[in-house]
């Protein structure tokens, strides 16, 4: 048997506060032979490129002095002896653990300077990657438009909770972030990445959150015809695309003089070829791609293609999913649509059909 050398890359635990002693999440396991030709090994336990599903556990068995090797135990697990890391002399065993059910719901607050519909929509769609939408413990905090109102909301949110906010004012966003940090509250800004990207693409500043409704009509009426074609926005999703479209529409409302009249909706994008086509189209039009993919691979491919084609892009979904993974200490499933509600069960069964083999 050829000697094996184990190369291991570790990433920080999902949540340091809840991290169990002796456990670390493993992102990659690779094996090289003495001929230096890399082999990807599954260690007889399934695909090892499941960064949040593979758990590295410390074994209580006595330390072995043999060189690095692997073998199957009687329990069907692959054990890897020492020489893995100097600071972990005890034997290590790898185990791919399936999800033990749904994530436990925890309080989530959606804060908005408007009705809160956008933040609610984003968090419900994101929560479906962890559990059923109706089980989310979501509280809506609308019409937060001043610094004092930001402070009031943050003080009402219990320590250790999670806030997703969609505020147009960059000053209020900064204050929300700072105030949440002081109260030990996790938070994520759902709207600023899009607004900043649109400012760069349009070469103009957004309207403030307090003045959007009052000034939009006046600004459009008195504006001159744009010197260039309106900004092209592509709303892309592996599902219906409603979150991407609503976010793009909300972003465009803060630039009433830009002449943006439409958004190209691209729903149910499930292939790399369609991603390539979208990136090419957006690149030719110097447009912006706003996308929501549950799959990290699809998201990464979209970012890569947009950069190659010179198109601006905003990944709405993955930052929220990562923040929720840290908050819930639980991995997302990465499946388009995620867990559906009970109302969709009947519709699923209705599309089934029996077809004769002859």
Q: How many H-runs (helices) and E-runs (strands) does the chain carry? A: 10, 15
Round to whole Å and give the CA distance between 164 and 23.
29
Q: Which overall architecture, per CATH, does domain 202-220+227-315 show?
A: 3-Layer(aba) Sandwich (3.40)
- Per-residue pLDDT, 87: 53
- Give pairs for 252-256: CB < 8 Å, separation 24+: 252/198, 253/212, 253/216, 254/168, 254/195, 254/198, 254/206, 254/207, 254/212, 255/198, 255/202, 255/204, 255/206, 255/207, 256/207, 256/212, 256/215, 256/216, 256/217, 256/219, 256/220, 256/223
Q: Please, which pLDDT band fits residue 182 given cuts at 50, 70 and 90?
A: very high
Q: Please, which pLDDT band fits residue 121 given cuts at 50, 70 and 90?
A: very high
In 3D space, the residue among 201, 168, 191 whose CA is nearest the CA of residue 312 turns out to be: 201
The residue among 3 and 276 whose pLDDT is bigger is 276
Tell me the pLDDT of the chain averaged across its residues: 76
Q: Kindly give the pairing relationship between strand 138-141 and strand 233-237.
A: unpaired
- Per-residue pLDDT, 345: 75
Phi and psi dihedrals of 253, rounded to 5?
-65, -20
- CB-based contacts of 217: which residues, under 8 Å, 6+ apart? 256
- Per-residue pLDDT, 90: 59
Segment 132-172, tens digit of pLDDT = 878 889 999 999 999 999 999 999 999 999 999 999 999 99
> Is 36's pLDDT higher than 50?
no
- For the domain covering 102-190+317-337, report its CATH number: 3.40.50
Round to whole Å and give the CA distance between 252 and 256.
7
> Is 315's pLDDT higher than 80?
yes
State both tokens at 57: 């556990």
pTM of the model: 0.68
Q: Would you list the domain boundaries of the chain?
A: 5-96, 102-190+317-337, 202-220+227-315
- Per-residue pLDDT, 136: 85
Q: Do domains 102-190+317-337 and 202-220+227-315 have the same CATH topology?
A: yes
State both tokens at 321: 């999913």
Q: In the chain, pLDDT over 90 holds for what percent of residues?
A: 56
Q: Which of 93-102, 201-210, 266-275 has the lowest mean pLDDT?
A: 93-102
Round to whole Å and give the CA distance between 127 and 337.
10
Segment 209-248, tens digit of pLDDT = 444 444 444 444 444 544 678 999 999 999 999 999 999 9
What is the average per-residue pLDDT within 34-59? 38
Q: Please, which pLDDT band fits residue 340 given cuts at 50, 70 and 90?
A: confident
Round to whole Å and give the CA distance between 81 and 67.
7
Q: Which helix (H) or strand (E) holds 280?
A: helix 272-284
Q: Kindly give the pairing relationship between strand 233-237 and strand 288-292.
A: parallel
State both tokens at 192: 């600023």
What is the average per-residue pLDDT within 61-89? 45
């Amino acid at each position: 048997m050829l000697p094996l050398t184990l190369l291991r890359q570790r990433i920080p635990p999902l949540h340091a506060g809840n991290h169990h002693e002796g456990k670390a999440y493993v992102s990659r396991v690779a094996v090289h032979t003495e001929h230096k030709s890399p082999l990807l090994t599954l260690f007889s336990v399934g695909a090892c490129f499941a960064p949040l599903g593979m758990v590295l556990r410390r074994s209580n068995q006595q330390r072995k002095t043999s060189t690095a090797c692997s073998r199957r135990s009687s329990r069907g697990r692959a054990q890897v002896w020492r020489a893995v890391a100097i600071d972990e002399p005890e034997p290590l065993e790898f185990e791919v653990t399936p999800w033990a059910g749904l994530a436990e719901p925890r309080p989530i607050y959606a804060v908005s300077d408007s009705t809160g519909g956008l933040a609610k929509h984003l968090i419900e769609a994101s929560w479906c990657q962890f559990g059923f939408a109706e089980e989310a413990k979501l509280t809506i905090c609308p019409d937060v438009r001043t610094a004092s109102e930001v402070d009031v909301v943050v003080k009402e949110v219990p320590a250790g909770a999670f806030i997703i906010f969609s505020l147009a004012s960059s000053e209020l966003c900064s204050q929300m972030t700072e105030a949440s940090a002081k109260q030990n509250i996790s938070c994520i800004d759902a709207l600023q990445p899009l607004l900043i990207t649109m400012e760069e693409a349009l070469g103009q500043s957004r309207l403030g959150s307090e003045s959007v409704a009052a000034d939009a009509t006046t600004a459009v009426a008195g504006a001159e015809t744009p010197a260039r074609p309106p900004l092209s926005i592509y709303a892309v999703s592996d599902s219906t695309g409603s979150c991407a479209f609503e976010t793009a529409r909300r972003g465009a409302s803060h630039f009433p003089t830009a002449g943006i009249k439409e958004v190209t909706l691209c729903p149910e994008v499930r292939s790399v070829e369609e991603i390539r086509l979208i990136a090419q189209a957006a690149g030719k039009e110097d447009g912006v791609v706003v996308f929501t993919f549950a799959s990290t691979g699809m998201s990464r491919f979209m970012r890569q293609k947009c950069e190659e084609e010179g198109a601006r892009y905003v990944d709405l979904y993955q930052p929220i999913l990562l923040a929720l993974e840290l908050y819930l200490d639980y991995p997302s499933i990465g499946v388009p649509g995620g867990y559906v509600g009970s109302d969709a069960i009947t519709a699923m069964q209705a599309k089934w059909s029996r077809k004769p083999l002859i």
